[in-house]
Chain A
Amino acid sequence: MKLRLLVNGEPREADIWEGESLLYVLRERMGLFGSKNACEQGECGSCSVYLGGTLVCACLVLAGQAGGSEVVTVEGLSEQGRMHPVQEAFLEAGAVQCGFCTPGLIMATHDLLARNPGPTEAEVREALAGNLCRCTGYEKILAAVQTAAERTGT
């Protein structure tokens, strides 16, 4: 089937097999490899994207369900090559090791701060509980989110 999406502001289309997930289409059909495939069942958050402005696991969206919708991936967060403050904060805090969880965590942090610009530590932990990281032990991620909140908040 033919699928049309608005991805990071650009209209895209692809011929797909109906059983493909939005994640597969973004990665393999559209060459947007920033969203990662780590668990295929919504447990790890590595494929987090915005679908119609809502944070979702792209692996759990059947591609056709997204037809005609707006999708924003981690590649869409930087503007004119300039990193988003959340991305900068992750770098500075040492929140990146292997980095496989990083795009998903950055999307989830972006979403959290949009909903709650000044989250408490407990709120950060609850909001990011669906993003597994195997390298960092999360301490530096918490620090990154706090830094990002300070910079993006009012």
Chain B
Amino acid sequence: MEFLQPADLREVLETKAAHPEAVPIFGGTDVMVDLNFDRERPGAVLDLTRVPEIREWSRKDRRLRVGAGVTYTRAITELGGLLPGLAMASRTVGSPQIRNRGTIGGNLGSASPAGDALPPLYASDAGIEVASVRGVRMVPVEEFITGPRTNALRPDELITAFMIPEARGPQQYAKIGPRNAMVIAVCSLGLALHPESRAVGACIGSAGPTPIRPHEAEGFIEGVIEEHGLWESRSEIPASALERFGALVAEAAKPIDDVRGTASYRRHAVGVLARRTLTWAWDEYRRDAG
């Protein structure tokens, strides 16, 4: 096994081009489990932790460019105000030890449908910045994750960052697990209100082969809000509409039975989470009026 440790972005892209089979590693929370459990023996491992460019984040025109190597801990402490949904999701990841090492780029790279960082990215239409010696391209997150544990990366490419608008409205993330900490999501839900664009973004986690945007549910609730002029009045969303939103989200899920939960429970639970997270986000939106 070869251990490759480039020191900057240019070098890391060249290394990846020269060793397309090399497995990138940052926090190791997935790669090391595969190594320790003898599931994978890659010919080469490419350490990204020494590349300063991917550990940085920056803000311009109310949009953020967040390096793939930003850890969950930093997402909470540094980005909590700008990306509250992502910060809430990050708080549900593992333990302090895991959050100190694990990165959002790692979630994108692993492309597990249970990745906690993914629903908030979907709910805010994040774009994934992918780079190689051939150049940089931007892929919408919904296109980037292509299936369970597969993504749109080409062999010579690395995830360098994601681009996301900073929150302009309330955001929520909720996740089901059979214990009160340290769980992989049985299912989850990310939700973001975008009052300026008069949109509601939602994303189901861990109840389908990839995270799922419930487009019909989003359209439905956006319609209800428009119809009643709620963006302006900030009145309550009618209970029946909240119920319907939950039901439509549940319908959009494509869950399976597995060791962590049953399909029927997952479908049920994402519906409940959708209703609750929308209620909480909307309550916050109403409070923010004053």
Contact = CB atoms under 8 A, between A and B. Distances in A.
Interface in B56-74: none
B94 to A, nearest CB: 6
B96 A40 contact: no
Contact of B182 (A56, A60, A65, A129): A129
Interface in B32-47: 32-33, 35-37, 41, 45, 47
A43 B1 CA distance: 26
B47 A126 contact: no
Given A21-B36, A41-B37, A60 B96 contact: no
B209 interface: no
B5 interface: yes
B3 interface: yes
Contact of A127 (B37, B96, B98): B96
B264 interface: no
Contact of A18 (B2, B27, B94, B97): B2
Nearest to B35: A19
Interface residues of A, number: 30
A111 interface: yes
Contact of A130 (B3, B31, B96): B96
B1 A65 contact: no
Interface in A94-147: 108, 111-112, 126-127, 129-131
B181 interface: yes
B110 interface: no
Interface string B5-47: 1000000000000000000010111011101110001000101
A60 B3 contact: no
Given A41-B33, A56-B97, A67 B5 contact: yes
A108 B28 contact: no
Given A62-B32, A62-B47, A126-B181, A57 B98 contact: yes
Contacts of A131: 95
Contact of A1 (B3, B29, B31, B97): B3
Given A45-B97, A130-B98, A65 B49 contact: yes
B234 interface: no
Given A59-B32, A64-B5, A112-B96, 13 more contacts: A17-B1, A41-B36, A42-B95, A45-B95, A55-B96, A55-B97, A56-B97, A56-B100, A57-B101, A60-B28, A60-B29, A61-B28, A129-B95
29 contacts: A18-B2, A18-B45, A19-B1, A21-B35, A21-B36, A40-B36, A40-B37, A41-B33, A41-B36, A42-B95, A45-B95, A56-B100, A56-B101, A60-B27, A60-B29, A60-B32, A60-B101, A62-B28, A62-B31, A62-B47, A64-B47, A65-B25, A65-B28, A67-B5, A108-B96, A111-B96, A127-B96, A129-B95, A130-B94
Interface of A: 1, 17-19, 21, 40-43, 45, 48, 54-57, 59-62, 64-65, 67, 108, 111-112, 126-127, 129-131
A-B complex: 9 closest residue pairs judged by Cβ atoms: A130-B95, A129-B181, A40-B36, A60-B28, A64-B3, A18-B1, A18-B3, A60-B32, A41-B33
